[in-house]
Chain A
Amino acid sequence: MFDLSPIWGTLGQLARPEVFGLMLLGNVIGLVFGVLPGVGGGNAFILFLPLTFGWDPEVAIWFLMGMQGASSFGGSLPAILIKVPGDTVNAVAIFDGYPMTRRGEATRALGIDVMSNILGATIGAIVVIALLPVMRSAVLLFGPPELFWVAIMGLFTIALASGGNFLKGLAGGAVGILFSLIGYSSVIGVQRFTLGRDYLWDGVQLISLFIGLFAIAQVIEFCTAEVPIARLTTGFKGFEGLKRGAIEVLGMPGHLIRSSAIGTLAGIIPGIGATASAFISYSVAIQFSKKKHLFHHGNPEGLVAANASINAKEMGSLIPALGFGIPGSVEGALILAALLFHGLQPGPFLLRDQPGIVWALIVSLWISNVFGTLLGLFWANWLSRLMAIRVVYMAPVILVSSLMGVYLVRNNIWDIFTAIFFGMVGYALNKAGFPVVTFVIGFLLGQIAEKYYFQSTQIGLGDPAIFFDSGISKSIAAITLLMVLGVIWSGVRSKRAVTAVEVPS
């Protein structure tokens, strides 16, 4: 029988006022940093980590996890309200969150956001606790060829999930990959497409691309279209809307459990980002939904799929970090940094020698997700009033703070011009119907795909058969192909059905 007593023991730490207070402080910091486009919770974590020097490690973990747990909810708020995601992982929340805001259902969308965050993290925590004893064998099943396929599957699912013209989604993703190849590749050891400029040796910075495509393009759109953010009002206002949205999530157990499971799995497998996992969950949610036609137009199911996956992924990322000392993701790397900073050696022996720390990490991340989100709930109603502000007043604030966020990442002033360039690119892509989200994800997946492609060919001594050696590789390739064929077939079938009804009339 699984021994749950360590969990209760760890939860008991919350009775200590300093632990509870520091966790809440971490939540507030995580929310604030998460809301700011381009700044993100990761920066908060890095900034405040040195402050915890000399603290009791368990207390420090509660504080740091408090930030980590709340930042993803913070990032989803601007994504839903003004179509500017706080972080790349929140981009998928735009698909259905922003259309809901535009039709006057901002508080309902935030209610859904809150509840799916909490439940996603909870399901993720349960899965992590259950898998902890067997995690080693599960993680070792995924080598470079399998991870290469996961990246490719991510690209296709994103093109499918972005809706509209599949080819445009795919083209956007491919262009994103090509941009990711600019600069010096440490994997291959060569520089590519730098045009002889020193600046491009480091490649295009993700933050510049991200802020440009989302925040600056949106500023241009705000100023030229002069449209209000919320156009229609349907009556889901204030706490009534929040309550309604939160209750709605409970009526979608299938989407919730499925997306959380995908998110947790994505967290466990090193190398898959939270963004890719959110898109895969979103795509799978479309396949299983009875209201497929509402996706991209404010379907609550889409919002649930994205948020549950992101929060469950955070929980899942604890497994490779704690079990092997492998930073499977940015979140995992930050957690490892925190452990090392406090003199703890992550890896297989941590669970045996320091079980209290392991449980503190799992439980504190889960509780922080719940508390951070609830704390955000109090803001949510107030934040939804932002929609009443004229967009021309918000535009300079978004622009000035976003470009400052771009600069602060590595103190290079040229990065803000890169962001401005991508702002124009984003505006043009939006007008032409190319989903910019696939562009960003392509950019992210391009780096992952090339790394694993190169490693795989090295392992296979150049033989491409390496990509189909294992059962997992074959399965992922087959699933990718089936998904593409399935969606195209589904589109063709629905067109035929509509035509069949239209012709006699």
Chain B
Amino acid sequence: MTSKPWQRVSFWVTIALALFAVTIALASLGLKRDAKALPQLISFPLLVVLGLLLVGEFVPRVQSFFVISWLPTATPGGENLDLTEEQELERELVEAEREETGREVLLRDIPWRLVSLVFMGIVLYGLMVLAAGFIVAGLAFSMVFVRGFGGATWQGATLLGIGTVGTMYALALLLRADLYPGMLFGGKLPPF
């Protein structure tokens, strides 16, 4: 790891989890004995684990000690034992997969603009459901999404939207469930 700890996503996520654990630990102090037993039994060791992870961000050697590695032990000659051609192929594919998934993700690797856009789109869909219900929101969201992100034609987007919403509606009918109609159409909000 050549990057600085604060350049990595894992560093910030670990800090966020530690803050969550501290909040739970502090909040549990005011609970009665039985109620605080498990929160404290979990949150204090969790803080130790997260502390170790944070130390590992600065000292990679500490981090590597806890990495479970199932890599085959190399022989003194360096070759792998008894691998058939097919196993070799499998190994190459696995290595390709591992290279891709095992990489440390840095903050600059995240396409922040795109992630924000997608996330805001999902939140907007939630708000649309709240306002106009599942059917209208589902249709509008599917159409705009595949049109905006996928570059589909309006006809294709409409077809996909109708298909998605139609399936939803059919399932709701089958389940004899009422889909939320939206506040604009008389839907009531449960207590929050």
A residues adjacent to B (C-beta < 8 A): 36, 39, 43, 47, 99, 102-103, 160, 163-168, 170-171, 174-175, 177-178, 181, 185, 188, 190, 192-193, 197-199, 216, 219-220, 223-224, 232, 234, 286, 292-295, 297-298, 390, 392-393, 395-397, 399-401, 403-404, 407-408, 411-414, 416-417, 420, 423-424, 427-429, 431-434, 446, 449-450, 453-454, 457, 487-488, 490-495, 497-498, 501, 505
- Let me know if B17 and A175 touch, CB within 8 A: yes
- Let me know if B68 and A164 touch, CB within 8 A: yes
- Let me know if A170 and B94 touch, CB within 8 A: no
- Let me know if A431 and B122 touch, CB within 8 A: no
**Which residues of B in the span 95-132 have a Cβ within 8 Å of any Cβ on A?**
96-98, 101-102, 104-105, 110-111, 114-115, 118-119, 122-123, 125-126, 129-130
- Let me know if B150 and A393 touch, CB within 8 A: yes
- Let me know if A39 and B38 touch, CB within 8 A: no
Enumerate chain B residues within 8 angstroms of A390, measured Cβ to Cβ. Answer: 150
Known: A181-B39, A223-B114, A294-B94. A400 touches B164 (CB 8 A): yes
**Which residues of B in the span 157-176 have a Cβ within 8 Å of any Cβ on A?**
160, 164-165, 167-168, 171-172, 174-176
A-B pairs, top 10 by smallest CB distance, nearest first, are A292-B70, A432-B13, A392-B150, A432-B10, A174-B46, A297-B94, A198-B191, A293-B70, A396-B142, A497-B73
Known: A188-B34, A412-B190, A494-B73. A171 touches B50 (CB 8 A): yes
**Could you tell me the distance in whole angstroms from the C-beta of A429 to the nearest C-beta in chain B?**
7
Known: A171-B50, A432-B10. A492 touches B73 (CB 8 A): no
Enumerate chain B residues within 8 angstroms of A292, measured Cβ to Cβ. Answer: 70, 72
- Let me know if B63 and A178 touch, CB within 8 A: no
Rounded to whole angstroms, the CA-CA distance of A380 and B145 in the bound complex is: 28
Q: Is B185 an interface residue, CB under 8 A from the partner? A: no
Q: Is B59 an interface residue, CB under 8 A from the partner? A: no
Name A's interface SS: helix
Tell me the nearest residue of chain A to B150, going by C-beta.
A392
Enumerate chain A residues within 8 angstroms of B67, measured Cβ to Cβ. Answer: 164-166, 491
Enumerate chain A residues within 8 angstroms of B190, measured Cβ to Cβ. Answer: 199, 412-414
- Let me know if B14 and A400 touch, CB within 8 A: no
Enumerate chain A residues within 8 angstroms of B111, measured Cβ to Cβ. Answer: 224
**Could you tell me the distance in whole angstroms from the C-beta of A207 to the nearest C-beta in chain B?**
14
Tell me the nearest residue of chain B to A102, going by C-beta.
B97
* Chain B residues bordering chain A, tally (CB within 8 A): 96
Enumerate chain B residues within 8 angstroms of A497, measured Cβ to Cβ. Answer: 73-74
- Let me know if A178 and B20 touch, CB within 8 A: yes
- Let me know if A171 and B17 touch, CB within 8 A: yes
Enumerate chain A residues within 8 angstroms of B74, measured Cβ to Cβ. Answer: 497-498, 501
**Could you tell me the distance in whole angstroms from the C-beta of B180 to the nearest C-beta in chain A?**
5
- Let me know if A163 and B68 touch, CB within 8 A: yes
- Let me know if A393 and B118 touch, CB within 8 A: no
